[in-house]
Amino acid sequence: MTVNEDTPAIAMRGITISFPGVLALDHVDFTLRRGEVHSLMGENGAGKSTLIKALTGVYPIDSGTIAVDGEERVFSATADAQTAGISTVYQEVNLCANLSVGENVMLGHEPRGRAGIDWKAVHRLAAEHLAGLGLAVDTRSILSSHSIAIQQLVAISRAMVLDAKVLILDEPTSSLDRGEVERLFAVIRELRDQGVAILFVSHFLEQVYEISDRITVLRNGRLVGEHLAADLPRDSLVSQMIGRELDELDAISRTADRVIDRTAAPVLRATGVGRRGMLEPADLDIYEGEVVGLAGLLGSGRTELVRLLYGADKADSGTVEIGGRPARLTSPRHAIDHRIAFSSEDRRAEGIIADLTVAENIVLGIQAKRGWMRPVRRAERDQVVSEYISALGVRPADPDMLVRNLSGGNQQKVLLARWLATAPQLIILDEPTRGIDVGAKADIQRKVAELSAQGLSVVFISSELEEVLRLAQRVVVMRDRRRIGELDSSTVDLDLLIDYIANEGEGSAA
């Protein structure tokens, strides 16, 4: 260390980035010191990835400064950040899978002899770099022949070749097993001790606490706080990430206290439904007219569970009963035939058909159910569309507008309309209120409350726990791809639920 020890490797001050209609980062400060592992925490949309992209030169910043080793820099391209010594290893390894390990490690920095690249030296140097991380692999083997874990370590040694002073690890452990995580962590600690500043992002709380020296929490594009990991208890981390807004949504009557008749056969009963590498076998019962909340952080398995129930992904264990009868749900069609509807958390990629109109998007569910031979007639279509546009308050109320031009909240209403129009008995809503304005949020919650009172069963997933507690009679809690328990929401409050999500089942099984 030639520079002053106290100068942080990275000092970001007052970083602001806005996208059309959204303030993605609002005067965020972030400091990364040499020789520390620093975790960046926050739910989806909190601004984590935007902050990383600002630091790696992907997004230009609207205001604020970035200083590397005390020297202010402007990154107008990713190459600028790399020259400054900032390297990133992404969740999906961004190396050349069809090249050899050695070629990948040394790519762009191949030693040259008189007759072009000296391949012997390439592989020798690559092997040295890999050995430095305790990795002994054949540098001439093809990268894709190795596990994701090894590929990730290769990506890290590549970063070391680039002489990285700052290493950003974005969800590096999401596809690794326990042993592989240990190995990765050993490498991370080794690098930290060499003085590399490491920015770590993961949804796994336990791993964050295992590896981090310091934690910075973001929420809704704002800095919530920076803490030493040792000084920050889990539950206060979780409540900082989730936040508690006192909002006008309290006006909605609590449906949570409604009494549900659980004597009849459940609308859906899942027993031991799971899939290797995705979700440990879990149980779930949903009765008529009941709202069941799924709570847990992102990546806890809440989305995975409902995708298996809907047949969007295929379960490899467990059984499902619908109305007391065994059913096989191996594709969305099967689920739809059993009058189950599913609205994905990824509105853009898995929900709306952006280039079709509002009307076409709304009737798509009915149309798909009927098949192409029996088109929804104009009069019927107009009637269904205008009914749902007014019932859900879609703005603007123009059925011929392309859905891509609607705001997120209105797109969500269109999706809700699509599913309600198919008259389901069970609707699964995954993050229906994420990233939408308060008005639309209230509209959607009100509709859910109203429909469940009429007998519709609902599975409701949301990162906003207040919302879950307000709507659901029962809350099923997930963590680390596991169901850890179930709570009666009339007997718990927010603090209890947060504590449960953070701590329940630690050490011993729930």
Partner 1 sequence: MKKLVTHRLFWPVMALLALIVVNTIARPQFISVTLRDGELYGALIDILRNSAPLMLVALGMTIVIATRGIDLSVGAIMAVSGAVALTIIDTSGDPGSGATVAVALLVGILVALVLGVWNGFLIAVLGIQPIIATLVLMLAGRGVALLITDGFITTVTSAPYKFIATGYVIGLPFALFISVAAIIVIALLERRTALGVLTESVGINPEASRLAGVRARGIVFGAYAASGVLAGMAGILYSSNIMAADANAAGLYIELYAILAVVLGGTSLMGGKFTIAGTVVGVLTIQTLESTILFLGVPSAQAPVFFAAVVIVVVLVQSPRLHRFARGLFASRRPDGGGPSTPAPTPPTTTEPTKAEAVR
Q: In the complex, what is the shortest distance from the CB of residue 19 to partner 1, in angstroms, rounded to a whole number?
A: 11
User: Which residue lies nearer to partner 1 by CB, 122 or 414?
Assistant: 414
Minimum CB distance to partner 1, residue 467 (Å): 23
Q: Least distance (Å) from partner 1 to the CB of residue 453?
A: 26
CB 215 within 8 A of CB 207: no
DSSP codes of every residue in 256-278 = TT-----SSPPSEEEEEEEETTT
Question: For the chain, what is the radius of gyration of the CA atoms?
Answer: 25
User: Which of 303, 305, 295, 304 has its CA nearest to residue 501?
Assistant: 295
Taking the complex as a whole, the smallest distance from the CB of residue 250 to partner 1 amounts, in Å, to 33
Shortest gap between Cβ of 262 and partner 1 (angstroms)?
29
Amino acid at 364: L
**Using CA atoms, how far apart are residues 421 and 394, in angstroms rounded to an integer?**
15
Phi, psi of 390 (to 5 degrees): -80, -35
Nearer to partner 1, 161 or 426 (CB): 426
Cβ of residue 275: shortest distance to partner 1, in angstroms? 17
Task: Report the residue number, 58 or 494, with the smaller CB distance to partner 1.
Answer: 58
CB contact at 8 A, 485 and 477: yes
| φ, ψ dihedrals at 20, nearest 5° | -50, 115
Return the number of the residue (243 or 399) whose C-beta is nearest partner 1.
Answer: 399
The minimum distance between CB 488 and partner 1, in angstroms, equals: 31
Helices (H) and strands (E) counted in the chain, each on its own, are 17, 22
CA 361 to chain centre: 25
Q: What angle do CA 14, 159, 36 make, to 5 degrees?
A: 50
Residue 360 CB, shortest distance to partner 1, in Å, is: 6
By the criterion CB under 8 A, which residues form the site for partner 1?
Answer: 310, 312, 332-333, 336, 342, 344, 349-356, 360, 364-365, 367-376, 418
Q: Which of 395, 428, 430, 388 is nearest to 410 (CA)?
A: 395
421/449 with CB nearer partner 1:
421
CA distance 179 to 270: 31
Q: What is the 3-state secondary structure (H, E, C) of 332-370?
A: HHHHHHCCEEEECCCHHHHCCCCCCEHHHHHHHHHHHHH
Residue placing its CB nearer to partner 1 in the complex, 281 or 332? 332
Burial 391-422 (b: 16+ CB within 10 A, else e): ebbbeeeebeebbeebebbbbbbbbbbbbbbb
68 in Cβ contact with 237 (< 8 Å)? no
In angstroms, the CA 82 to CA 165 distance is 10
Q: Which is nearer to partner 1, 375 or 396 (CB)?
A: 375
CB of 373 to partner 1, least distance (A): 6
Min dist CB 332 to partner 1, Å, is: 5
**CA pair distance 310, 308, nearest whole angstrom:** 5
- Measured from the CB atom, the residue of 155 and 376 that comes closer to partner 1 is 376
Shortest spacing between CB 375 and partner 1, in angstroms? 4
* Closer residue to partner 1 (CB): 287 or 419: 419
In terms of CB distance, is 120 or 348 closer to partner 1?
A: 348
Helix (H, G, I), strand (E, B) or coil at 291: strand
d(Cα 17, Cα 51) in Å, to the nearest integer? 9
Nearer to partner 1, 347 or 481 (CB): 347
